[in-house]
Each structure stands twice: as C-alpha cells, then as structure tokens.
Amino acid sequence: MTSSSETVRLPSDDETIGPVTILDAQGRVLRVVSAEDFRRSRLTATAEPVDDLPPLASLRAKRAERRATAESRLRSAAARALPRAIAS
C-alpha cells in the first residue's frame, strides 16, 4: 500500500509546468522545450493513424520466417564445417 508521502501529485490546471530538458546519451543538454510545446509535439507524434501500420500477426510471421532462415543457414554452415574438422 502506498503511503500519502509517496503519492505522486499531478499538477492542477492553475500550476505552471517547468520546461522539458532533452539530453543526449552522455547527459549533455540538447535543447530545452516548453512543457506546452513538448506535450503538443508528443500528441501529434503519437496520433498517427494506426490503420496504416501492418498487422501484428504479419510482423510476427515475418520475424519467425527470418529466424528460421537464419537457423537453417547456421545448420548448413555447421554441416559443411564438420567434415573439414574431422579430416584435419
């Protein structure tokens, strides 16, 4: 159970929200964006039509096909290497 001291309080409409700092992998500041602009850009970035995306089952089938192909290549390479290893 969460105590009241650990509860996260969301800002109300009358409170201002500070700017968002965007950092690179080393922690250097890339840019500072106002919270309003950051929220707006995130909403437009995630609001792309889902209908244009391929179905998840199709993506999973393609992934399984790629894995099977890679595994068969590995088996073929191992089968070719085995007689050479025995001969030497």
Query: pLDDT per residue over 35-70, tens digit each?
Result: 878 776 655 555 556 666 667 778 888 888 988 888
Distance CA 88, CA 74 (A): 21
Q: Do 29 and 21 touch, CB atoms closer than 8 A?
A: yes
Name the residue among 10, 14, 12, 33 with its Cα closest to residue 23. 33
- Looking at residue 44, its pLDDT comes to 58
Residues 6+ apart with CB under 8 A from 41: 33
State the Cα–Cα distance between residues 2 and 82, nearest whole angstrom. 60
Structure tokens at 81: 């290497």
What pLDDT shows up at residue 17? 76
The predicted structure's pLDDT at residue 14: 62
Q: How confident is the model at residue 7 (pLDDT cuts 50, 70, 90)?
A: confident
